[in-house]
Each structure stands twice: as C-alpha cells, then as structure tokens.
Structure 1
Amino acid sequence: MELIQHIQNHFRIPLDEVAKVAALFQPSQLKKEAFYSKKGAYCSQLSFLQKGHIRIFDQQGDKEITQWIAGPGQLITDLRSFVFQHPSRWQMQCLDEVELFSIDRKNFESLHQLVPNWAQIEKEFISDCFITLENRVFSHLTMSAEERYLHFYNYNPELFTSVPQQYLASMLGMTPETFSRIRKKIVLS
C-alpha cells in the first residue's frame, strides 16, 4: 500500500510502528467537484491522496486564486485549521475522482501514545511544510514567470497533463495567457 510506503519514507517511523499508524487512516472516495474542505469550516482530517487531485484555492471577488494542487502520493489538509482548530481559509475541491486515506484529529493526537518519538516526527513534518511554503514564496519573489514554470514543471510534470492550465497559471502567479505563451515557447525550443 502506498500509504505505508509514504509513512516509512517521509516520517522515518520504525517498521513495527508503521502498521499501527497506517491502521488509523480510513479509506474514502470523493467524486469530481466534491469538496474536501470548505472555507470557514473546520478541516478535521489529514489525508493521503492515493488517486486524483485536489485544488486548494480562494475566491477573491470574481477571481479564483489557486494556492496548491495536491496529487497522488501527497498529504493534504488545511494545517492551520487541523492543528489549531481555526476556520479554514481555503476551499479544497476535487478536480477528478479521488481516493484517499484520512486520519481524524482525535486519532492524529493519539499518535503520541503509539509512536514514542512522535513529537520529534511531527516537528519535522511541520518544518517540511514550512520549508515548502518558504520555497514557494522565494520562487515568486526571485524567479521570472518562465523560471517558475520550468522549476515547477521539473518537479511536477504529471500536473501539466492532468490539471487545467488556468489552475496551474494561477498557482504560479501568472495569467493564463502568460502561462500559454511560456508553454508554447518551451515546446517550440
């Protein structure tokens, strides 16, 4: 199961504890366009995406701003809402059929009893989330639109064939026209 492999690879939990942790995650499915979480609600789960894509976005008047697109093999939650129980700032909507394994807040908190060094593991997980965010901010501040496109493409090529271009453009901080122009230039070169 990919969830077990993900836990082993990313959380460095001893093998005998991995099955205990994985058992706390419950499988579920969401249909295309279903919401994983809505703005203003509480995100009460952390999920591993087995299949499909979930777009994290906000509505600013008549404009939607895509913050992230999570795909297979990634964890998803509104971390601020899940950890600190604040209302979610984001909409999280399925772009296609989604299969996931989710752990609720109560079971997540019980990991401290199951895994003796969970506090350190959780600290590293939160640090990785922060570093990812920091890298995105850095790329938006220091890279040109073309550099951001190429950088993101190098790490997420599958999204360029499975997700609508306007969502990728928004996530990369550019207009759909700029995104299209860059894509055309790269394909022709």
Structure 2
Amino acid sequence: MDKLIENIKAYIPLNDNEIQLLKEAVVKKNYQKNKIIFTEGKISDEIYFVTKGCVRLFYNVDGNDKTAFFYTEGQFICAGESYTFNIPAIENYQAIEQTELFVFGKSKIERLLKEIPKLEVIARIATENELITCQKVIASFVTKSAEQRYIDLLHTNGELFHRVPQQYIASFLGVSPETLSRIKTRVFNKKSS
C-alpha cells in the first residue's frame, strides 16, 4: 500500500482521510507465476497497480501469443478501451512471476473520484503514460531494426532479461527466439571488439 500511496503523492498531496478512503477502495490480490489475470472477451471493470512482480500484456493472434508489453512495480494496468467503452477486451494479462496487485473496481473508482476529485489527476497521468508508452513502441517498430529495439530494451529496461522468459522478449521485439539469440550474439560480439 505504501508504494501506491508514494506513487500518488508524487503527483498530488493526500491527507490522512484521503489515504484511508484510498485504502478502503482497493483490494490486494496475489497471482502465482504464469497465472492469467485477465482474458480477452471479458469486459474490463478493474484497474490494477503492480506492487510486486511482472505482468505480460499479450494478444492472441491466430492461436499464437504476441507479447505487447511488460508491467513491473509502480505501474498501472488497464484494458483501456474495454474499461472506457464497456466492450469486450482484446488483450490478456499474465503474471510472469509471483505478482501482487492492488485492484480498483470501477464502482469504487467512481466513488473515490467523487470523494477525492483531485485523484482525476492520477487517472489523467496514468492514461498519458500509457499513451506515451504505446507511441514509443509503435515508433520503434516503424523506425528501428529488431537489433536496435533489443539494444533499447537492454538500456531502458534491462532487468526484464532476468525476469521474463526469452520467448516473451523475442515476441515483444517482433522476432523468433532463434533470431533473438543471434541478435544477442551480434551485440555481445560488437561490444567485445
């Protein structure tokens, strides 16, 4: 809970009463490694905050998982289009390691926003961060090679290589596991020479 409060306090001050209301609005849930948190076809009515662990966002494309993103500690997760427009989601979320989430139900969020209107700022910031992240991912696929995307991921979020199975990293980078292996070798050899 402290991590969530700290995260929010980075943007807006909260008094003791507001912190108490926030604590009453969330439910803590734990997920075992590889457990599915949310599946496509359902209508999303929850927003998650990762306090511990790693969550993979993936899509089912013709029977194959395609990894789109990884969420780690301190990040909000939401199937945005489904949540906003009350339509079935096309995404899936999976715990990649033992994961702890704080879960905000839609009705509790609406009540919270009435009681603490300044929390709208957090909703806006979470949405903006998600949009910026999506734009960066799209731009990297349009403007960079798989090797450049690998190097960027290594520099910006290298810890993922120790936390996430390589096939998910390969899928996220848009390559096969074999191609990822060749990219790693090439990058290592360039650094060595």
What does residue 79 of structure 1 align with? 80
Give the counterpart letter for 1:139 in structure 2.
Answer: S
What does residue 67 of structure 1 align with? 68
What does residue 47 of structure 1 align with? 48
Q: State the TM-score, normalized to the length of structure 1.
A: 0.89
Corresponding residue SS for 1:110? helix
In structure 2, distance between residues paired with 1:117 and 1:86: 27
Alpha-carbon offset, residue 120 of structure 1: 4.6
In structure 2, distance between residues paired with 1:22 and 1:124: 20
Gaps of 5+ in 2: none
Aligned pairs, how many?
187
In structure 1, distance between residues paired with 2:20 and 2:155: 33
Alpha-carbon offset, residue 171 of structure 1: 1.0
In structure 2, distance between residues paired with 1:4 and 1:118: 12
In structure 2, distance between residues paired with 1:163 and 1:4: 27
Corresponding residue SS for 1:15? coil
Question: Do 2:59 and 2:91's aligned partners in 1 also have CA atoms closer than 8 Å?
Answer: yes
What does residue 176 of structure 1 align with? 177
Corresponding residue SS for 2:74? coil
- The 1:83/1:184 distance shift into structure 2, 3 A limit, reads same
What does residue 98 of structure 1 align with? 99
RMSD value, Cα:
1.8
What does residue 186 of structure 2 align with? 185
Q: State the TM-score, normalized to the length of structure 2.
A: 0.87
- The 1:95/1:125 distance shift into structure 2, 3 A limit, reads closer
Alpha-carbon offset, residue 106 of structure 1: 0.7
Question: Do 2:44 and 2:79's aligned partners in 1 also have CA atoms closer than 8 Å?
Answer: yes
Alpha-carbon offset, residue 20 of structure 1: 3.4
What does residue 13 of structure 1 align with? 12
Matched, 1:135 2:167: no
Give the counterpart letter for 2:99 in structure 1.
Answer: V
- The 1:119/1:54 distance shift into structure 2, 3 A limit, reads closer
Alpha-carbon offset, residue 22 of structure 1: 4.3
Among the aligned pairs, what percent are the same residue? 30
CA deviation string 1:75-132 (max 9, x = no partner): 1121112222211101212222211111101111123213233445433332222121
In structure 2, distance between residues paired with 1:78 and 1:186: 35
